[in-house]
Amino acid sequence: MSTPRNIVRLPKPATSAYNPNRPLAANALIRAQVRHFAEAERHLPPEFRTHIDPHKIETEGEASIYIRKVTEAIHATGGRPRKVQVP
């Protein structure tokens, strides 16, 4: 499909790049994402809740576990449209 002439070599990250223990305090985006997932979890049926306290999440790795559980629960509920209460 491609000629050797038009192949561009990909970079390789350092092995030290991976750090799931990075403090959540260092990333405002994931902090906000956790907050939003906590809001979404409030609207899940009780049997689908994670029983994880989002306030106790301290690292990126812990956040990813929580986000994964809520995402899977949202899909497991079958995508039934549900009314969100206006706070």
* Interacting residues with other proteins (CB under 8 A): 1-3, 5-14, 17-20, 22, 26-30, 32-33, 35-37, 39-40, 43, 60-61, 63-65, 67-68, 70-72, 74-75, 79, 81-82, 84, 86-87
- Least separation, in Å, of the C-beta of 23 and other proteins? 10
Residue with tokens 């899909």: 75
Q: What's the rounded Cα separation, in Å, for the pair 20 and 65?
A: 11
Min dist CB 53 to other proteins, Å, is 18
Residues in the chain: 87
Cα separation, 51 vs 63, whole angstroms: 14
